[in-house]
Chains A and B, each alone.
Chain A
Amino acid sequence: MKKNIFSTKGLTKVYGEGHSAVHALRGVDLDIPEGEIVVLLGPSGSGKSTLLNIIGGLDRATDGDAFFQDRNLSDMTDRELTRYRRDHVGFVFQFYNLMPSLTAHENVELVTEIARDPMDPGDALNIVGLRDRVDHFPAQLSGGEQQRVAIARAVAKNPTVLFCDEPTGALDSTTGRSVLKVLRDVNEKLGATVLIVTHAASQAAMADRVIHFADGSVREIVVNETKLTPEEIDW
C-alpha cells in the first residue's frame, strides 16, 4: 500500500463574499498516493487549479485541511509555506515564468542555490535535453525549449512533488509531447509525484490516476491500469 503524499478533508475555497461569492472548491476530500503521475481534468472554473494552488502552498483554503505527508498546510505560516515550496515543490507553468535576465543554466541555478539537496544544474538540463543551449537567454529559446528549462528548474531541486499547470497549453503537439515525455521521465527516474492540471482529456491516458473535477467538487477518480506513453497520445 502506497503512502499518501497529499490528502484533503473538506477543503473549501470561496472567493468574494455575499451575493458575489464564488465557490471554487466545495468541501473536497481527496487522497493522492506518492510517486504517481496524477492528471487533474475538468472544464475551466471547475476548481482543479484552485486545488493545485492550495496544495502547492500558493494560496490558502477558506475552510478544511490539506495535508502534505502528515503536515497540515492550512496551519502553516507564510514563512513555513515558503520553506515548503523551497524544499519540496517544483512548479511548471503555462507561460514558463523564466527570468528573462538569466541564461537557461542560471535560471536553473536560481533554484539550486537555495535548495536543500539540489542536483547539478547541468544534469537537470541534461534530463530535459537542453545540454547544448545552457548559455542561451530565454529570448533565444523556442517556447518548447523555454518550457523544458522551466521543468529543469523545477526538477533541479529534487522535488518531492512537481506541479504543472497547463504545461503544454502554449505549445504545439510535437513540442507538447516532448515536454510530457520529460515529465514522465522525471516521475520514473526521480520518483517525484507529478500533478498535471489540464483540460486536454487525451493527456489523461499517460497518468496513473485521473481526477475529474466539476463545479468545485471531485466528480470521479479513474485509476489507469495501462498507461500510454506520451508518444502514443492523441493530440
Chain B
Amino acid sequence: MSPLDHKLLRDLWRMKGQAIAIGIVIAVGVAMLVMMSGLVTSLNETRAAYYERYRLADVFAPVTRAPDRLVQRLAAIEGVSAVEPRVIGGALIDLEGADVPVQAQAVSLPDLRTPRLNDVFLSDGRMIDSDRTDEILLLQSFANAQGLRPGDRISATMNGARRSFRIVGLAQSPEFLYTTAPGEIIPDDARFGVIWMSRSALAAAYDMEGAFNEALLSLSRGANEDAVLDAVDRILDAYGGTGAYPLADQISNRFLSQEIIGLEASAVGVPPIFLAVAAFLLYIVINRMVQSEREEIGLMKAFGYTNSEVGAHYFKLVMAIAIGGALAGCLLGIAGGRALTQFYTDYFKFPFLVFQLDPASFVSGVSVSILSASVGGLMVLRSVFALTPATAMRAPAPADYSRTGKMGRWLNAWLDQPSRMVLRRITRQPGRMAGAMIGIACGMALSASMITIYAGFDRTVDLTFNVIDRSDVTVSFTHAASESTIFELRRMPGVTLVEPVRHVPAVLRNGLNTYRGVVTGLSAQARLFRALDSDLAEIPLGERGIVLSTALADILDIRPGEMLTVEVREGRQPDLQIPVTAVAESLLGSPAYMNLDALNRALREPGRVSGAYLSIDQARAREIYRELQNMPTVAGVSLKSDAEAAFLTLMNTGAGAIRYVMGAIAFVITFGIVYNAARIAYAERIRDLASLRVIGFTKAETAFVLLGELAVVTLLALPFGGALGYYLSFGIAAGFSNELYQIPVVFDLASYGFAGMVVIGAAIASGWLVKRDIDRADLVLALKTRE
C-alpha cells in the first residue's frame, strides 16, 4: 500500500463524522431509488406469476342466462384458448351480532374437476365435495376479517331463499384481490364476501341448470382482444349478454393496477428528486472539503507529486465516500425493498412473493452519486492545481472582507462585533452562502411537499365524506326499483331525509378513449350527495347533459361543451350521445353524474331508482337497520362511517402508505443537509472560533458567531424552500393520485409552518451537535493550525 493510500485511510478516519453524514445522504437517495423500483418490479412480477399460476381469465363475459352448448361456439372463436362457464350470483350473509347483512358473491366451481380458468388457492381446510351442496369455500380475507374458520356454519340468502352452509376451506384468488360491494368504490375485506360452491348446487339455487351466466375466456398469444370481445358479444347478445370486458377492466385487477401504477409513479417521480438533492449536497460538501485540504495539496506538490497524482489521491477520497454511500444505499434499498414488498404482498393478498430487483436502479443510483461527487471534486481541484506549491503552503492571507466594509455601514451602529462577523461572512461569500441556502431550501422543499401531501390525503377524505357525501347510510336495491321504494324509506321512523340515486353501468367513450364505469343519476335538488365544482359550489344537474369528475374528464380527454358517447350496459343497452356540461371536483373514484329524471328518460325507464342516500336519527339506527334488512328490495346497506374507515385503511396501507416512508426519508435528507452545512461551516472556522474563546468569549458567545450564520442561512432558506416545495408538491401529488382516488395540492399554511419547524428543528439539533464540538475543541491545537 502506498503512503498516499495510508494517508487516504487516515484522512477518511479523521473526517469520519463528516464522511458519514455525506454518505448517509447519498445512501438514502440511492436507497429510495433502489427500494421503489425493486418494489414495483417485484409487485409486477408477483402479480404476473400469480395470474399465470392460477390461470386468471383474459376476458369476462357476463350474460343473463346462456345454455351450456354455447361454450363450444365461444371456444371456436379465433384467438380463444380456453373457456370456462360458471354461475355467479349475489348473496347476503347473515352474521351474528352484525347490524347490517354483508353482501357477497357466490361463484361456482366445476363439479369433479379443477377449473380451467380462475382457479383458487386453498390456504386452509380442504376443497369442496361436489356431492355435498352445503359445502363452501370462503374468501380468506373476508373470513379473517369476520373471524370465520373452516368448520363454522354460516347462513346466507341466495335468490330470496335462506340457506345454511358449512365452511370447509378458505381460499384466495387472483380474481378477488380487491373486493368491493356492488355500487361501492372502496374495497373492504370485512364488508364483501366471496363464496365458492359446486356448480350443481349453485345452478340449483339460481335456476341455472344446464346454463351459465358468466363465461371466462383465455386468449392465445397474439390474439386480437377487441375482435374476441366483439365475437363473444355477438354470440351472447341473444341471451342477455351485457358486454364482454377484458381483464384490464376487471374490478379487482383494475384497482390492483391502479395501486401499482400509483407506486410506479411515485417510484419514477419522487426518488430522482431526492437523489438530485443528495447529489447537489454532495457536490457542495466535496467542494468545500477539498478547499480545506489546500495546504496539504501544496505540500504534496512540493515533494514532487504531479498534479494528476495529487488529483487521483483526492479523487479516491471523494469516490470512497460517494461509492461507500451509494453501496450502503443499494444494500439499504434491497433490505427496504424486500420489507416493503413483503408488506405489499400481504396487503395485496398475494399468496407468494417473487422478489426481483431492477438492475437499472443500481446503475443509475451509483452513477449519479459518482458523477456529482466527481464534478464537485474536480471543480475545486482545478483551482487548487493553479497554485504553486509555495503559495499553497504559505499561511494563507486572511480572507479579504474589504469589499463588505462599505455596505451596511448604517447597520454597524446597531450590530455588535459578533453580529457583524456573521453578516459579513454571509455577504462576502454570497455564492457559498447561496449554496448552503439552496441545500437547506431543498430540504425545506422536500419536507414541505411531503407534509402538503399528508394534508392532501386529509383533504380527500374530508371532501369525500363530509362535503360531497353528507348522508349517513347508503342503501342499494337488488334491481332498479320503482320510486315507491323511496316513499317506503321516507316513511320509516327515524329516517330524516331520503334521496334517490340510480347507478347505471356504462362504457363512456370519447374517440379512442374509453372508460368502463357507472353513470350516477342524482335528483335535481340533491342535498345529501352532490356534484360540486372546484370552488365547492353545487353544480345544478339540468335536464340535459352529463357532469364528469376531473379524473374522468382527464381519462377521456374531454371538455365541457363536447359530446360524450355513453354505451349503457343495462336493460335495453342504448348508445347515448350526451353533452358534457361541467366538470365536478371529486377526489374519490371517477364518477359521472346526470339528472336522475333525465337519465331515466334517456333509458326509457321512468321512475326507476337503484339505491338511496339516507340521513337518519342515530338514536334509532339499529331499528332502521333491522327494518332495512327486512325489505326484500334491499340488496345492501352500507354505513358512511364504515366506508370512511375503509377508505382510510386503503390510503394508509395501500400505495398511499409509501408517503410515510418518503416523509421519513425527506426528514433524513433535510437533517443531513442542515447538519452538513453546519459541520462544514465549523470546519472552515475552527481557528477563528478558538481565537474568540482564547480572548475571553464564553462558549455561548463563540457558538453564536457560527450558529448565527446557520440561523440566518436557515431562515433565508425557509421562504425559498417553501416556494420550491409548493411546486414540488404538484409532482408528488400527481405521483400519489390514481383512478381510485386523487390527491390535491392543498396550500395550507400549517403544512408549511410544520415543514419550517422540521427544518428549524433539524438546524437546532445540528447546531447543538456542532456546538458540542466547539465546546470540546482543543484551544491550543486549534491555534497552532494555520487555517
Binds A, one of B104-112, B120-128, B329-337, B401-409: B401-409
Q: Check B395–A95 contact: CB distance below 8 A.
A: yes
Pick from B405, B421, B780: contact of A58, CB below 8 A: B780
B398 adjacent to A100 (CB under 8 Å): yes
CB distance A97 to B696 under 8 Å? no
When distances are taken between beta carbons in the complex, the residues of chain A under 8 Å from B693 are 82
Contact assessment for A97 and B687 in the assembled complex, using a CB-CB cutoff below 8 Å: yes
B695 in complex: contacting residue of A53, A83, A91, CB < 8 Å: A91
Given the complex of chains A and B, what is the CA–CA distance between A99 and B405 in angstroms? 14
How long is the Cα–Cα vector from A110 to B399 in the complex, in angstroms? Answer: 18
Q: Are A100 and B401 within 8 A (Cβ)?
A: yes
Q: Tell me how far the C-beta of B317 lies from the nearest C-beta in chain A, rounded to whole angstroms.
A: 27
Is the CB–CB distance between A111 and B696 below 8 Å? Answer: yes
Nearest residue (CB) in A for B702 is A82
Whether B420 lies near A59 (C-beta < 8 A) is no
Partner of A53 from B400, B405, B697, B780 at Cβ < 8 Å = B780
Q: Knowing A59-B779, A135-B405, say if A101 contacts B697 (CB, 8 Å).
A: no
Q: Is residue A113 contacting chain B, with contact meaning CB distance below 8 A?
A: yes
Q: Determine whether B698 belongs to the interface, using a CB cutoff of 8 Å to chain A.
A: yes
A177 at the binding interface (Cβ < 8 Å): no
Cα distance, A197 to B695, chains bound together (Å): 18
B417 touches A110 (CB 8 A): yes
Q: Which residue, A97, A139, A140, A157, has most C-beta atoms of chain B within 10 A?
A: A97
By beta carbon, the residue of chain A nearest B397 is: A139
Please name the residue on chain B nearest to A86 by beta carbon.
B696
Question: Which residue in B398, B428, B699 is a CB contact (below 8 Å) of A98?
Answer: B398
List chain B residues, Cβ under 8 A from A91.
Answer: 694-695
A118 to chain B, nearest CB (A): 11
A111 surroundings in chain B (CB, below 8 A): 695-696
Residues of B within 8 A of A103 (CB): 405
| A101 with B780, Cβ < 8 A, contacts A110-B695, A137-B398, A153-B695 known | no
Q: Within the complex, what minimum Cβ distance (angstroms) separates B395 from chain A?
A: 6
In the complex, the chain A residue whose C-beta lies closest to that of B701 is A114
Those of B415-434 within 8 Å (CB) of chain A:
416-418, 420-421, 424-425, 428
Interface size on B, residues (CB 8 A): 33
The CA-CA distance from A154 to B398 in the complex, in Å, is: 19
Enumerate A1-53 residues with CB–CB distance to B below 8 Å: 53
Residue B786 at the chain A interface, CB threshold 8 Å = yes
Q: Number of contacting residues on A, CB 8 A?
A: 40
> Whole-angstrom distance between the alpha carbons of A91 and B692 in the complex?
11
Complex partner residue of A95 from B421, B694, B786, CB under 8 angstroms: B786
Contacts of A135 in B (CB 8 A): 405
With A58-B779, A58-B780, A99-B691 known to touch, is A82 a contact of B402 (CB < 8 Å)?
no
B698 touches A79 (CB 8 A): yes
CB distance from A152 to the nearest CB of B (A): 12
A115 within 8 A of B: yes
Compute how far the CA of A89 lies from the CA of B780 in the bound complex, rounded to whole angstroms.
15
Q: In chain A between 79 and 127, which residues have their CB closer than 8 angstroms to a CB of chain B?
A: 79, 82-83, 85-87, 89-91, 93, 95, 97-103, 106, 109-111, 113-115
Across-interface contacts of A93 in B (CB, < 8 A)? 691, 783
A137 and B402 form a contact (CB under 8 A): yes
Q: A135 CA to B401 CA in the complex, in Å?
A: 11
Complex contact A170–B395 (CB within 8 A): yes
Q: Are B405 and A82 in contact (CB under 8 A)?
A: no
Per the bound structure, the CA–CA distance linking A91 and B420 in Å amounts to: 22
Q: What does the 1/0 interface line of B236-277 toward A look like (CB < 8 Å)?
A: 000000000000000000000000000000000000000000
Known: A82-B697, A113-B416, A114-B696. A100 touches B399 (CB 8 A): yes
Report the minimum CB–CB distance from B700 to chain A (whole Å): 10
Specify which of A53, A101, A110, A114 lies most central, judged by the most chain B CB atoms within 10 Å of its CB.
A101
Q: Which residues of B are interface residues toward A (Cβ below 8 A)?
A: 395, 397-402, 404-405, 416-418, 420-421, 424-425, 428, 687-688, 691-699, 701, 779-780, 783, 786
Other contacts beyond A111-B696, A114-B701: 20, CB < 8 A: A53-B780, A82-B698, A85-B694, A85-B696, A89-B696, A91-B694, A95-B395, A100-B400, A100-B688, A101-B424, A102-B424, A109-B417, A110-B692, A113-B417, A114-B696, A114-B697, A137-B398, A137-B402, A139-B399, A139-B402
- Shortest 4 CB-CB contacts between residues of A and residues of B: A86-B696, A139-B400, A100-B398, A138-B398
Residue pairs across A and B with Cβ atoms less than 8 A apart, 9 shown, are A58-B694, A59-B779, A95-B786, A99-B417, A101-B421, A110-B418, A139-B397, A139-B398, A157-B696
